[in-house]
Every structure is written in structure tokens, then in C-alpha cells.
Amino acid sequence: MNNSNVLNIPEVITNEKLLDLYKQMWLIRLFDEKVDEFFAKGMIHGTTHLAVGQEASAAGVCALLSVEDKITSTHRGHGHCIAKGATPDRMMAELFGRTTGYCKGKGGSMHIADVDMGNLGANGIVAGGIPLAVGSALTAKMKKLDYVTVCFFGDGATNEGSFHEAVNLAAIWDLPVIFVCENNQYGMSGSVKEMTRVENIADRAHAYGIPGVVADGNDIIEMMNVTDEAIQRAKRGEGPTLIEAKTYRWKGHSKSDAKKYRTREEEQEWRKKDPIKRCKEVLIEAGLLTEEKAEDIRLEAKKEIEDAVTFAEQSPAPTLDDLLTDVYA
């Protein structure tokens, strides 16, 4: 059964799926918070980019995707991976540089991929995943395959040339691709208001003759609905959609960011729009959740993340011989 009439959500989203999505958002947040802790302790090396506060966009979009549907992700991509079916244990192992990780410990935080689940990979290059997503969509069209490709990227990526080239190509060829811009208000330390003249990034879609949709990126229900419409449009052969999910990252751009470019008052205002809290309130109002059950789900997610840490810590590190494997040239 589902509660689509009460909540005004796509019919394919059942009550059970809604509760799974609530847990999924907790998994995404707790994973990133644990990673933040480990970087601070020097237990994980390199760098990382956290999406705490942005959980609804990843979970809401991927809720409508099948295993056959594809995604491309970004340097801030842990949430996308979990939402597309990746397990926290293998993700944590990847960040620990262990052989049981998704890329055998060689990709790290910014390069997790899980092709079996349709995750074509995160990308450390700003806007790097956008042309790849268009290539995936072109494959679907040429081979008459019934899947869509979702491309996640940040607001900063929309000022890169590859964004405009890829969107234009997807538009003129009516490719089944959905561009999802997670506008978290800042590209590194630069406010989107200083970097972009248009009021909404979604307005840029008009230049390419495709729909541009502004959505509340902290509202999982709204994210599911706009994604459902975009998927149906793509599968009818009508081409791409640009969705702008307005959201906010609670943490800095990366682990070394002191966030001196924004005020604490601004941060507090956005924290009041916590996507997990909003989801819980909606589910309680719909009679699908109680405060007690919500806490049980949070604790289940916490235990899963703790188990992932144990798995990663107990997994073997690569040997010197592993340096020469998986090398293409």
C-alpha cells in the first residue's frame, strides 16, 4: 500500500519505501559525520567534501530510479552513492584505502563507483560528470535502452564550459538525461549570488529550449515529484530537464574550510530547514511514523555505520603488488 494521495507523491513510492528513505537520509548524514570525525583524527588521508544538510536531494532523486538507471556524481558524492544502492561498509573501506572498497581502496572519497547499481562514478573535476552523463544517455538512445541518466553537480559547475556544451548537445538530440544542480549556495568560498547573474540556475535551461525547474532541495517529497516528472518526460523521448535543488551544506567546502565567508546566523537559518527533521514531521503527520519509531530508525542507521567502520578497519590494506593492477596504460 502507499500513501500517495495523502502526501501527493508518485504512486510507485510505497509507505515502506518512505520509511526506507527516512533511514537512508540518516545513513547519508551519519556516514558523512563519521568521515568528518575520522579526517579530524588523521585516520583517513587526502581530502573529503561532505554533504551534511543536503540529504533530501540525493535520496529524493534516486528514490525514483531503477537499478538500470544511471547516475554520475561529484566530489561531494557520498550521499548519491548510498542513495543509488551502495553499502556503507564498502564505501567506508574505500575511504580507508582497503582492498574491500568499491575501487579496491584506490579511488577514495571522490571516486567511488558501483557500475552494477548504475553508479557510473563520482568525479573530482568540477562539471566532469556532466559530459559523461550525456554520453550515457546517448548510448541509451542509440541502443534503444529503457533507462535514464541523472547527472548530479553543484552550482559552481554551471559556470564551466562543459556544462553548457553538454546541456546543449543533450537538448538538440533529445537525450534521456536529467541534470540535477544541487545549489548549496556556495562554490568553494564564493557565493552563487556573486558568481551568477540569473536569479535561478534553472533559468539557464531556457537558453537550450528545455524545462528548468526550481525545487526545494531540503524537501524530499518535492524532490521526488519533480524527478518523477523529468523521468516521464525523458522516457517519452522529449529530452532532458534541468532541476535546481536549492539546499545548503552545513559543513565547509572541504575538510580544510573554516567557513569564514558566511555568517553563523545564515547557517542557523538553514539548519532550521533540516531535511531529515522535515521528512520526519511529514511522515508523523501522515501517520506513518512516531517519535519512538523515528528514533529506532536513527539508531538502526547509526549501528549500520558503526558496523561499516568495523568492516573497514578489519579489511586488508593493498600490497605493493596491487600498485600494478587495474592499470590501463
Tens digit of each residue's pLDDT (9 = 90 or more) over 186-231 = 988 889 999 999 999 999 999 999 999 999 999 999 999 999 999 9
* Contact between 117 and 85 (Cβ < 8 Å): yes
Given a contact cutoff of 8 angstroms between Cβ atoms, the answer to whether 158 and 196 are in contact is yes
Q: Report how far residue 208's alpha carbon sits from residue 227's, in angstroms, rounded to the nearest whole number.
A: 19
The parts of the chain modelled with pLDDT lower than 50 are: 1, 4
Q: Classify domain 4-321 at the CATH topology level.
A: Rossmann fold (3.40.50)
Q: What is the pLDDT of residue 5?
A: 53
Distance between CA atoms of residues 113 and 96, nearest Å: 15
pLDDT of residue 4: 47
Q: What is the 3-state secondary structure (H, E, C) of the chain?
A: CCCHHHHCCCCCCCHHHHHHHHHHHHHHHHHHHHHHHHHHCCCCCCCCCCCCCCHHHHHHHHCCCCCCCEEECCCCCHHHHHHCCCCHHHHHHHHCCCCCCCCCCCCCCCCCCEHHHCECCCCCCCCCHHHHHHHHHHHHHHCCCCCCEEEEEEHHHHHCHHHHHHHHHHHHCCCCEEEEEEECCEECCEEHHHHCCCCCHHHHHHHHCCCEEEEECCCHHHHHHHHHHHHHHHHCCCCCEEEEEECCCCCCCCCCCCCCCCCHHHHHHHHCCCHHHHHHHHHHHCCCCCHHHHHHHHHHHHHHHHHHHHHHHHCCCCCHHHHHCCCCC
How far is it, in rounded angstroms, from Cα 289 to Cα 295? 10
Quote the pLDDT of residue 327. Answer: 83
pLDDT of residue 79: 98
Angle (CA) 68-303-299 rounded to 5° is 100
Instruction: Note the pLDDT tens digit of each residue in 139-185.
Output: 999 999 999 999 999 999 999 999 999 999 999 999 999 999 999 99
> What pTM did the predictor assign?
0.95
